[in-house]
Chain A
Amino acid sequence: MSFLDDATLQNLESKANQIRQSIVSMLVEAKSGHTAGPLGMADIFTAFYFHILNHDPKNPDKEDRDRLILSNGHIVPVRYATMAHAGYFPLEELKTLRKFGSRLQGHPERHMLPGVETTSGPLGEGLSQGAGIAYAGRMDKKKFFTYVLLSDGEMQCGLTWEAGMFAAANKLGNLIAVIDRNNIQINGTTEDVMPLEPLADKWRAFGWHVEEVDGHNISGFIDAINHAKAITTAPSMIIAHTIPGKGIADIEYDFKWHGTPPNADQGAEFLKELRTLQGKIEGGHSE
Chain B
Amino acid sequence: MLNIKLQLDQDVLHPDTIKLKPTRDGFGTGLIEAGKKDERVVVLCADLAESTRVEEFKKTFPERYIEIGVAEQNLATVASGMANYGKIPFIASYAAFSPGRNNEQIRTTIALNDVPVIIAGCHAGISVGPDGATHQALEDIGLMRMLPNMTVVVPCDAFEAHRATVALAQLGKPGYLRLGREKTPVITTEQTPFEIGTAYTYVDQENPDVVIFACGPFLHTALLVAESMQKDTTSVSVVNVPTIKPLDTKTILEHTKKAGAVVTIEEHQRAGGLGSAIAEYLVSEFPVPMEMVAVNDRFGQSGSLAELTKEYNLDQDSLTQAVSKVIQRKSI
Whether the pair A106, B307 counts as a contact (CB closer than 8 A) is no
Whether the pair A122, B101 counts as a contact (CB closer than 8 A) is yes
A residues 201-220 with Cβ under 8 Å of B?
Answer: none
Given contacts A33-B130, A106-B302, whether A187 and B47 have CB atoms under 8 Å apart is yes
Whether the pair A122, B96 counts as a contact (CB closer than 8 A) is yes
> For the complex, is B133 an interface residue (Cβ under 8 Å from A)?
yes
Whether the pair A98, B67 counts as a contact (CB closer than 8 A) is no
From A10-18, A139-147, A153-161, A243-251, the one touching the partner chain is A153-161
Whether the pair B301, A157 counts as a contact (CB closer than 8 A) is no
Whether the pair A107, B47 counts as a contact (CB closer than 8 A) is no
B224 proximity list for chain A (CB < 8 A): none
Nearest A residue (CB) for B134: A121
Among A99, A158, A193, the most chain B Cβ lie within 10 Å of the Cβ of A193
A76 shortest CB reach to chain B, Å? 10
> For the complex, is B135 an interface residue (Cβ under 8 Å from A)?
yes
Whether the pair B304, A153 counts as a contact (CB closer than 8 A) is no
Whether the pair A122, B97 counts as a contact (CB closer than 8 A) is yes
C-alpha spacing A187/B93, complex, angstroms: 12
> For the complex, is B73 an interface residue (Cβ under 8 Å from A)?
yes
> For the complex, is A198 an interface residue (Cβ under 8 Å from B)?
no
Whether the pair A194, B130 counts as a contact (CB closer than 8 A) is no
B257 shortest CB reach to chain A, Å? 42
C-alpha spacing A158/B67, complex, angstroms: 16
Whether the pair A156, B71 counts as a contact (CB closer than 8 A) is yes
C-alpha spacing A57/B93, complex, angstroms: 37
Whether the pair A194, B135 counts as a contact (CB closer than 8 A) is no
A25 shortest CB reach to chain B, Å? 16
Whether the pair B71, A106 counts as a contact (CB closer than 8 A) is no
C-alpha spacing A107/B71, complex, angstroms: 19
Whether the pair B132, A121 counts as a contact (CB closer than 8 A) is yes
C-alpha spacing A121/B70, complex, angstroms: 12
Nearest B residue (CB) for A119: B134
Given contacts A122-B101, A186-B47, A186-B48, whether A98 and B69 have CB atoms under 8 Å apart is no
C-alpha spacing A282/B186, complex, angstroms: 55
C-alpha spacing A98/B302, complex, angstroms: 5
> For the complex, is B308 an interface residue (Cβ under 8 Å from A)?
yes
C-alpha spacing A154/B70, complex, angstroms: 7
A210 shortest CB reach to chain B, Å? 21
A residues 68-124 with Cβ under 8 Å of B?
Answer: 73, 98-102, 105-107, 109, 119-124
Complex interface bits, A16-40 against B, C-beta within 8 A gives 1, otherwise 0: 0000000000000010110000000
Whether the pair B301, A194 counts as a contact (CB closer than 8 A) is no
Given contacts A105-B302, A185-B47, A193-B47, whether A98 and B130 have CB atoms under 8 Å apart is yes
Among candidates B49, B71, B73, residue contacting A187 with C-beta atoms closer than 8 Å: B49
B135 proximity list for chain A (CB < 8 A): 106-107, 121-122
B29 shortest CB reach to chain A, Å? 20
C-alpha spacing A30/B51, complex, angstroms: 19
C-alpha spacing A281/B114, complex, angstroms: 62
Whether the pair A194, B68 counts as a contact (CB closer than 8 A) is yes
A residues 152-200 with Cβ under 8 Å of B?
Answer: 153-154, 156-158, 185-187, 193-194
B280 proximity list for chain A (CB < 8 A): none
> For the complex, is B195 an interface residue (Cβ under 8 Å from A)?
no
Among candidates B67, B131, B302, B304, residue contacting A102 with C-beta atoms closer than 8 Å: B302
Complex interface bits, B129-147 against A, C-beta within 8 A gives 1, otherwise 0: 1111111000000000000
Nearest B residue (CB) for A125: B101
Whether the pair B47, A100 counts as a contact (CB closer than 8 A) is no
Whether the pair A100, B133 counts as a contact (CB closer than 8 A) is no
Among candidates B48, B49, B74, B307, residue contacting A100 with C-beta atoms closer than 8 Å: B307
A186 proximity list for chain B (CB < 8 A): 47-51
C-alpha spacing A187/B311, complex, angstroms: 34
> For the complex, is B303 an interface residue (Cβ under 8 Å from A)?
yes
B residues 40-90 with Cβ under 8 Å of A?
Answer: 45, 47-51, 67-71, 73-74
B134 proximity list for chain A (CB < 8 A): 73, 107, 109, 119-122
C-alpha spacing A154/B45, complex, angstroms: 16
A30 proximity list for chain B (CB < 8 A): 130
Residues of B within 8 A of A (CB): 45, 47-51, 67-71, 73-74, 96-97, 100-101, 129-135, 301-304, 307-308, 311
Further contacts, 15 of them, CB under 8 A, given A107-B133, A122-B101? A98-B130, A99-B302, A99-B303, A100-B304, A102-B302, A106-B302, A107-B131, A119-B134, A122-B97, A123-B70, A124-B70, A185-B47, A186-B50, A193-B67, A194-B68
6 A-B pairs (CB sep. < 8 Å): A30-B130, A106-B131, A154-B70, A158-B71, A185-B69, A187-B45
9 tightest CB-CB pairs across the interface, nearest first?
A: A194-B69, A100-B303, A121-B134, A156-B69, A98-B130, A106-B132, A105-B132, A100-B307, A156-B70
